[in-house]
């Protein structure tokens, strides 16, 4: 019985560790890399090295950045009195894409999840409290995910931050725009009813 | 509007070029690589470099190998009078896994597909003919895929090789083992009927 050459086996093993990549996808990707020009495959390897060597977390908000401080924190035009709290760096981009938020961010690095062993100490909550204590913050918008962990984190933050004398708000839950009442789950529809606004 | 740091954008762009990886999967993989220890991400990069620097095609059968000649061609115990013709290197492993074939291989590098601009010249058919002409080959088993391109390639090879005075056979089409007659498509079931064998 012949097996794959060792370098191919090694790549397959490492590709299989990536999220969403099973053995079949790993094989497809590995054979693709085998067939493309050497320069193209090496540019992917270099991009991975670059990512790990050049991308860091912003010292202020823990968003990802190439410098010490991220583009949002460094931007003088942003409203420094409002901080939007998100779970992950990718959530920053999601909020930025809406174009309706002009404040700063704070990336927690996850959500409180006792099952996964993630308590408040594992998240960058202390750093958030310090930012509030440093002054100048009027409102914290909690934009953690609208699931069990995100909601628990939001409630925890509200209890922690409100006593500091600032406004703490939560992004709205409700029907997605373009959605269909008929297909909405009852929890979402219930939230949409509770969160109704007068014309 | 803030965007991702350049090294992250670069990696996303390169990941999206891989087969089966869309923008969402690319994002998931990139953020995964961002969060894992540096050594783990770099080992993936090194595995890609290794693949391109160490893996070559076998000079005889065009299977992938680390040396000049692949493990199958170098194995003195293999039956050198039978050559199994497959489309891609991964097909070699698929046949090897069955454990029922003890001959050598020949990897074409694809199948004849006029729509994709792949004619017989683009495949390693000339090299196969040369192997037959060199003598010692009694049978060619054509194991290209049982689809339109694979069948066309099989018929092309049969017409080309039979005049050289050797046996040319085709792997059987039929119902998969463990399959269900009820759910078989009519073409497969038709093939299974045509290819019936006496007990």
Residue B22 lies in a domain: yes
Residue A29 lies in a domain: yes
Are B142 and B84 contained in the same domain? Answer: yes
End-to-end Cα separation, chain A, in angstroms = 73
Distance CA B188, CA B193 (A): 9
Q: Which of A25, A33, A92 sits opposite B48 (nearest CB)?
A: A33
Closest CA of chain A from B140, distance in Å: 20
Q: What is the ipTM of this complex?
A: 0.71
CB contact under 8 Å between A65 and B5, yes or no, is yes
User: Mapping DSSP to helix (H, G, I), strand (E, B) and coil, where does residue A107 land?
Assistant: strand
Are A80 and A11 contained in the same domain? Answer: no
The residue that leads in pLDDT, B172 or A198, is B172
Q: Find chain B residues with C-beta within 8 A of A62's C-beta.
A: none
Q: Which of A10, A55, A93 sits opposite B50 (nearest CB)?
A: A10
With CA atoms as reference, the chain A residue closest to B110 would be: A35
Are A24 and A99 contained in the same domain? Answer: no
Among residues A153, A199, A144, which one has the least CA distance to residue A173? A144
Residue A100 lies in a domain: yes
Q: Which of A66, A88, A99 sits opposite B6 (nearest CB)?
A: A66
Residue B193 lies in a domain: no
Provide the 10 A C-beta neighbour count for residue B158: 14
Are B84 and B34 contained in the same domain? Answer: no
With CA atoms as reference, the chain B residue closest to A104 would be: B2
Are B85 and B146 contained in the same domain? Answer: yes
Q: Find chain A residues with C-beta within 8 A of B55's C-beta.
A: 5, 7-8, 34
Tell me the percentage of chain A whose pLDDT exceeds 70: 98
Query: Under a CB-based contact definition with an 8 Å cutoff, are residues B91 and B143 in contact?
Result: yes
Are A34 and A87 contained in the same domain? Answer: no
Q: Find chain A residues with C-beta within 8 A of B70's C-beta.
A: 2
Are B105 and B24 contained in the same domain? Answer: no
Residue A173 lies in a domain: no
Quick: pLDDT tens for B122-141: 999 999 999 999 989 999 99
Are A93 and A32 contained in the same domain? Answer: no
What CATH number is given to the structural domain containing A10?
1.10.8.420
Are B80 and B154 contained in the same domain? Answer: yes
Q: Which residue range is the domain that position A4 belongs to?
A: 1-38
Is the predicted pLDDT of residue B1 greater than 60, yes or no?
no
CB contact under 8 Å between B2 and A75, yes or no, is yes
Is the predicted pLDDT of residue A18 greater than 90, yes or no?
yes
Distance CA B63, CA B171 (A): 19
Q: Which of B10, B27, B47 sits opposite A50 (nearest CB)?
A: B10
Q: Which of B2, B10, B30 sits opposite A72 (nearest CB)?
A: B2
What pLDDT does residue A2 have?
A: 45
CB contact under 8 Å between A32 and B19, yes or no, is yes
Give me the mean pLDDT over the B106-118 stretch. Answer: 93
Q: Find chain A residues with C-beta within 8 A of B28's C-beta.
A: 19-20
Pick from A5, A26, A32 the residue to mutate for testing the B interface (most B CBs within 10 Å): A5
What CATH number is given to the structural domain containing B81?
3.40.1360.10
Provide the 10 A C-beta neighbour count for residue A22: 11
Is the predicted pLDDT of residue A180 greater than 90, yes or no?
no
What pLDDT does residue A193 have?
A: 79
Where residue B15 falls (left for φ over 0; alpha for ψ -120 to 50; beta otherwise) is: alpha
Q: Find chain A residues with C-beta within 8 A of B78's C-beta.
A: none
Are A87 and A152 contained in the same domain? Answer: yes
What pLDDT does residue B14 have?
A: 94
Quick: pLDDT tens for B51-61: 999 998 999 99
CB contact under 8 Å between B99 and A1, yes or no, is yes
Q: Which of A11, A21, A50 sits opposite B7 (nearest CB)?
A: A50
Q: Find chain B residues with C-beta within 8 A of A21's C-beta.
A: 29
Tally of structural domains, chain A:
2
CB contact under 8 Å between B64 and A8, yes or no, is yes
Quick: pLDDT tens for B29-47: 998 998 899 999 999 999 9
Map tokens 């498509």 to a residue: B185
Distance CA B48, CA A36 (A): 12
Residue B157 lies in a domain: yes
Residue A52 lies in a domain: no
CB contact under 8 Å between A5 and B54, yes or no, is yes
Residue B181 lies in a domain: no
């Amino acid at each position: 019985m012949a097996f794959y050459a060792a370098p191919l086996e090694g790549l397959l093993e490492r590709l299989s560790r990536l999220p969403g990549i099973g053995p079949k996808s790993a094989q497809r990707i590995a054979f693709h890399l085998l067939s493309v020009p050497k320069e193209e495959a090496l540019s992917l390897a270099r991009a991975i090295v670059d990512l790990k060597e050049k991308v860091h977390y912003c010292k202020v908000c823990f968003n990802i950045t190439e410098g010490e401080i991220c583009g949002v924190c460094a931007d003088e035009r942003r409203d420094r009195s409002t901080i939007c709290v998100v779970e992950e760096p990718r959530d920053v981009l999601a909020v930025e894409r809406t174009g309706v938020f002009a404040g700063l961010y704070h990336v927690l690095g996850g959500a409180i999840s006792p099952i996964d062993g993630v308590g408040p100490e594992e998240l960058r909550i202390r750093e958030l409290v310090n930012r509030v204590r440093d002054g100048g913050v009027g409102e914290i918008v909690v934009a953690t995910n609208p699931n069990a962990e995100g909601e628990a984190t939001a409630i925890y933050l509200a209890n922690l931050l409100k006593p500091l004398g600032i406004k703490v708000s939560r992004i709205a839950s409700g029907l997605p725009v373009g959605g269909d009442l008929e297909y909405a789950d009852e929890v979402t529809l219930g939230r949409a009813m509770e969160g109704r606004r007068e014309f």
